[in-house]
Amino acid sequence: MSLFESLGVATRGLAASQLAIDVAGQNITNASTEGYSRKRIEQAAEVRRDGSYGQMGFGVEVYTINRVRDQFLDRLVNEESTRYGYYNMKDTTYGRIEDIFTEPSDHALNTLLNNFWNGWSDVANNPADAGARETLRSTAQTLTGQFKYISTQLRSYKDTINDEIESRVNRINEITASIYRCNVVIAGAEGKIGDKANDTRDQRDKLVQELAQLVDVDYFEDEHGAITVTTNGNMLVSGAKNHELVMRRLELTEKDGYQYSRIEISFALSGSEFKPKQGELRALMDTRDIDIPKYEDYINEMAKSLITSVNEIHKSGYALSGLSFIDFFDADPSKANAYNISLSQAVKNDINNIAAGAGGKTGSVDKQDLQTFLDTTTPTKPKLLLQDVDDHYRHIGKGTLQIEGGNPPRTLKEGMDYYVDYQNAEITFNDASGEFAGNALNFSFEYNEQGYGGPGDGDNALLLSQLRDKAVMQSDVFGKSTQTINQFYSGMLGRLGVERNEAAAGLDTRTAALQQLKSRQQEVMGVNLDEEMASLIQYEHTYQASARYLTTVNTMLDVLLNM
């Protein structure tokens, strides 16, 4: 080797040491940078063939700078991030559903139900007391208001989840676009063997991990360094471009008339619907499509059972006015749910319409011809006293009476063709032409066969208070109810608690697993400051030694040139 070649050896040694010091400095300054992978130089002895001695050392060659990563660990972290994202979001959504029910508290449904039953007990103890009746009505209105609040909040949360889904789909599209841009940079930068786009690879790995927390993904790297990302067998990123998810908002209507929107997701490339298997997006879709509707069904079933069971007993009783067949809750079928439950207009208007008194056995008549029982003493105003037909027909239910007859036959109209005294079960016809006295009159109605016991009668209120302990829900295989309304609600809360605990337990497990994997990942890719300081000292010494070698060769050249 000539002295001039020795100068090259020294120069390459200086350059290699300086580059190693620069890399160590880069590692040190990014020790706290999230997603940064520590770098190290890859170097080897450079050799050439000498005519006299064969291979001969020609200094050092730095052929690349590599990231320190474990791809197997990276893939495990991404897979665990997907599971973590699912349980983290499920834990959050179940927590929100629990907050809607606000149990236990003074204004929660369980407390208000018990107040409602207690209100009936107070009315039963003093049925003529206006204060007890007013308190019952107020308590019932508060109860219906809480039903409506829960239903409204559940529906509102579904709308909020739609917004969350939209936000995450937009973020997925942003991430896949960024991954594609990284692919372009990496493929362009790594055109020569040994060239590494290390920082861009770090950025891409961080994006893939964020994407994995949102949806389940699979990916592989091609020979150019670009990665292809798929989910459910559909491409999100390919070598050619990123493939976006598209959304459409459907406008839907519930049976009770409530209108709401629902976001559906599909692949822009194939047009097929996208339903992720894991990740935050799957948890949000499960909450919107399964969990919230399930608890809406629970609360609607509970409201419907409350309306039906209370009205059934209430209609058989007597108000202070002596009227019977009064609904306590609005009996319109479209209002038999938590969102629309309300008191009947009769109870809203007058607390005296609360049927605290007990009636007798109820029954019904369907199209019975009673024309022969008309009292035609006043021909133009014939009357029919139903008790003259049957002593059981003491009180007929308001709104249940229907009369068919006349010439031509038709359904008669109350207030035009006839008037009714419901308290005495007496019907008076407008019959100036004599058509009703001379033709069949078919009657349909519901009746109560026992009279009103007076203002002190609270037996019906007592029956209503006992609904607290009467099984009216959850029929078994034989059709027999097995649960009270309170028990059904407690069971629903128990199921919610179990599901929340399962989500929390799943989150704890996934958090521990992810932290363990990330810790192992960090051991590989993370910067150890002690190691970097040792590298600085090592390469400082090699730099100084190379410089001394260069000085020595330079002195030798001076001697040679001055001979």
45-49, 305-309, 370-374: the lowest-pLDDT one: 45-49
The string of pLDDT tens digits covering residues 165-179 is: 999 999 999 999 999
pLDDT above 60: residue 123: yes
Collapsed DSSP state (helix, strand, coil) of residue 563: coil
Which residues have a Cβ under 8 Å from the Cβ of 142 and sit 6 or more positions away? 107, 112, 115
pLDDT at residue 99 is higher than 70: yes
Asked which of 98-102, 311-315, 556-560 is least confident by mean pLDDT, the reply is 556-560
- The residue-averaged pLDDT of 459-485 equals 91
Question: pLDDT tier at 355 (50, 70, 90 boundaries)?
Answer: very high
Task: Average the pLDDT over each of 141-150, 442-451, 503-512 and give the range with the smallest value.
Answer: 442-451
Residue 235 has pLDDT above 70, yes or no: yes
Per-residue pLDDT tens digits for 482-516: 999 999 999 999 999 999 999 999 999 999 999 99
Compute the distance between CA of residue 218 and CA of residue 239 in angstroms, rounded to an integer. 15
Beta-bridge partner residues of 44: 61
> What is the pLDDT at residue 193?
62
pLDDT for position 395: 76
pLDDT reported for residue 63: 85
Q: Give the residue with greater pLDDT, 58 vs 405.
A: 405
Closest CA to 305 of 453, 482, 187, 444: 482
Helix (H, G, I), strand (E, B) or coil at 220: strand
**Cα gap 82→327, rounded to integer Å:** 53
Model confidence pLDDT, tens digit, residues 247-274: 999 888 887 778 888 999 999 988 899 9
pLDDT at position 390, please?
Answer: 86
More confident residue, 131 or 364: 131
The answer to whether the CB of 445 falls within 8 A of the CB of 397 is yes
Q: Do residues 503 and 90 lie in contact, with contact meaning Cβ atoms separated by under 8 Å?
A: yes
Query: Can you tell me the distance from the alpha carbon of 196 to that of 187, in angstroms, rounded to the nearest whole number?
Result: 10
Which band of pLDDT confidence, cut at 50, 70 and 90, is reported for residue 49? low
What pLDDT score was predicted for residue 259? 83
Would you state the pLDDT for residue 360?
66
Read off the pLDDT of each residue in 329-341 and give the average, rounded to a whole number. 93
Highest mean pLDDT among 215-229, 358-372, 396-410, 433-447: 215-229
- Span of 20-24, 283-287, 310-314, 318-322 with lowest mean pLDDT: 318-322
Where is average pLDDT lowest: 29-43, 79-93, 349-363?
Answer: 349-363
Q: Report, as an integer, the average pLDDT of 413-418.
A: 92
Burial class (CB in 10 A: 0-12, 13-18, 19+), 273: exposed
Three-state DSSP state, 135 = helix
Q: What is the pLDDT of residue 450?
A: 67
Closest C-alpha among 260, 209, 263 to residue 80: 209
pLDDT of residue 160: 93
Is the model's pLDDT at 94 over the cut of 80? yes
Burial of 430 (0-12, 13-18, 19+ CB in 10 A): middle
pLDDT value for 527? 94
Across the chain, mean pLDDT equals 91
Least confident of 241-245, 407-411, 453-457, 489-493: 453-457
For the record, the structure tokens of 385 come out as 């006293």
Q: How many CB atoms lie within 10 A of CB 361?
A: 10
High-pLDDT (> 90) share of the chain, %: 68
What are the tens digits of pLDDT across the range 129-143?
Answer: 999 999 999 999 999
Mean pLDDT calculated for residue range 394-414? 86
**Per-residue confidence at 245, pLDDT binned at 50, 70, 90?**
very high
- Which pLDDT tens digit goes with each residue over 533-548? 999 999 999 999 999 9
User: Which of 38-52, 295-309, 361-375, 420-434: highest mean pLDDT?
Assistant: 295-309
Q: What is the pLDDT of residue 254?
A: 81
Picking from 16-30, 200-214, 465-479, 501-515, which range would have the lowest pLDDT averaged per residue?
465-479
Confidence of residue 55 (pLDDT cuts 50, 70, 90): low
